[in-house]
Amino acid sequence: MNKKTKIIILISLCILIAIIGIYFLFPKGSNTQNIYVQKVSTIIGSSNTENRYSGVVESSETVDINSDGNKSITEMYVEAGQKVRKGDKLFSYDTTEASNSIAQKKLDMEAQNNEIAAQNNTIEDYKAELNKGADKVEIQARINDASFAIRQAQNTIKATQTEIDQLNKQIENSTVLSTIDGIIKEVNRDGGTDENGNQKPLVSITQTSDFRVKGSISEMGSISEGTNVIVRSRINEDQIYKGTVTKVETDPQSNSNNNVYGNDSNESASKYPFYVTLDNNKGLKLGQHVYIEVDNGQSTKKKGIWLDASFIVSDDNGNSYVWVSEKGKLKKRKVELGKTDEETSTTKIKSGLSEDDYIAWADDTYKEGMKTTTEYQTETDGDANAS
């Protein structure tokens, strides 16, 4: 081995030793890294927003009333935005034509009754002629003709009376009433078509006594019919309503700049609407914006500190720890565990931790003495202020 080769090998060994030394002196997760910590009270008080959807309270029923094209409207009793009760007047049809028709049909019936009376008199005259010895065959034929005319008149009277009854019913129902309690959504006395080319209803009523919640998903299968959910008020997240997903639309609808479901950054992406039937809706308002979460039992208030498994470290001896921030430095603190809730994947901390402590997620790279911060940062963020 020549001198030059020995020098190269010696330099390589020095570089390798230097690298190993740096690795052990400054391991990954060294004290220069700030570890994000959160207050325990915040952790146990926050709701799970991973599977949270935006929603809006809407009516569970909308009643559309179309006008009869063969009738003219004489009066509208409502306008858009007006509240109505079941049985309130909405509008009335013109009954002039029906009333005139009834009067004419009554005259027709009177004429038929006169015809019947005349034919009965004729039959009596024919019977008198028979008693005087007139041709029996000829007279009987005339009596039969008169009797047939009477039956025809009677049938005409019966049919005319049916027509009169129908016209009277039209007049009685000429004023259309609301079938539900609600708010007048729209009134289209002049007709017209909607954006899809469908004929607009004369009156549309949105029910106010029963609500449902409409949400949307960007992927089919992320929520399904029969899923139990929790609906939270955006104003007060402690105000919750339980319900069940009763319908998921299979045809997507374009979001088209409608920011009702504003969690998705892609506003033009297709959305699949779904609907939630609530166990109760007391306190909700039509049009109110809410959050929808899959019900994993998070609404049940449990006493004490219950932590997710991601915060707890266990060693081979069966001891359990959490990473706690003390004076801005990370410290491994032993805790005593209680019961585990399988539904929420949380474990009760019986001792060793208070709600005022700040803790970090469990990580094998953490070392005691590492600096902590309460400001979440990415790898590219600068140094944050230590807690």
Task: Please tell me the predicted confidence (pLDDT) of residue 193.
Answer: 83
Task: Please tell me the predicted confidence (pLDDT) of residue 261.
Answer: 39
Per-residue pLDDT of the chain (387 residues), as tens digits, is: 555 555 656 666 656 565 555 444 444 444 457 899 999 887 876 545 557 899 999 988 889 999 888 889 999 999 999 999 999 999 999 999 999 999 999 999 999 999 999 999 999 998 888 888 778 888 899 999 999 999 999 999 999 999 999 999 999 999 999 999 889 999 999 888 888 788 899 999 988 878 899 999 887 777 889 999 999 988 887 788 999 999 998 888 755 443 343 444 444 567 899 999 999 888 888 889 999 988 877 666 678 898 888 899 988 888 999 999 999 999 999 999 999 888 778 899 999 999 999 999 999 899 999 999 988 765 444 444 444
> What are the structure tokens assigned to 382, written together?
């600068």
Best CA proximity match to 94, nearest among 72, 77, 66:
72
Q: What share of the chain is helix, strand, coil (3-state, %, to 5)?
A: 30, 30, 40
Task: Please tell me the predicted confidence (pLDDT) of residue 26.
Answer: 45
Q: Where are the domains of the chain?
A: 27-47+301-373, 52-60+210-294, 96-172
CATH node for 27-47+301-373: 2.40.420.20
Measured from the Cβ of residue 308, the count of other Cβ atoms closer than 10 Å reads: 15
Task: Please tell me the predicted confidence (pLDDT) of residue 46.
Answer: 54
Angle of CA points 33, 49, 259, to nearest 5°: 115
**CA dihedral for 107, 113, 115, 118, sign (positive or negative):** negative
Containing 97, the helix (H) or strand (E) segment is: helix 96-131
Best CA proximity match to 218, nearest among 183, 174, 268:
268
91 pairs with which residues across the strands?
76, 176
Task: Please tell me the predicted confidence (pLDDT) of residue 335.
Answer: 94
Task: Please tell me the predicted confidence (pLDDT) of residue 111.
Answer: 95
Strands annotated E in 238-304 = 240-248, 253-254, 270-278, 289-294
Best CA proximity match to 203, nearest among 179, 169, 172:
179
**Class of the domain covering 52-60+210-294:** mainly beta
State how far the Cα of 53 lies from the Cα of 294, in Å rounded to an integer.
9
| Exposed / middle / buried, residue 27 (Cβ in 10 Å: 0-12, 13-18, 19+) | exposed
State how far the Cα of 64 lies from the Cα of 93, in Å rounded to an integer.
17
Task: Please tell me the predicted confidence (pLDDT) of residue 326.
Answer: 94
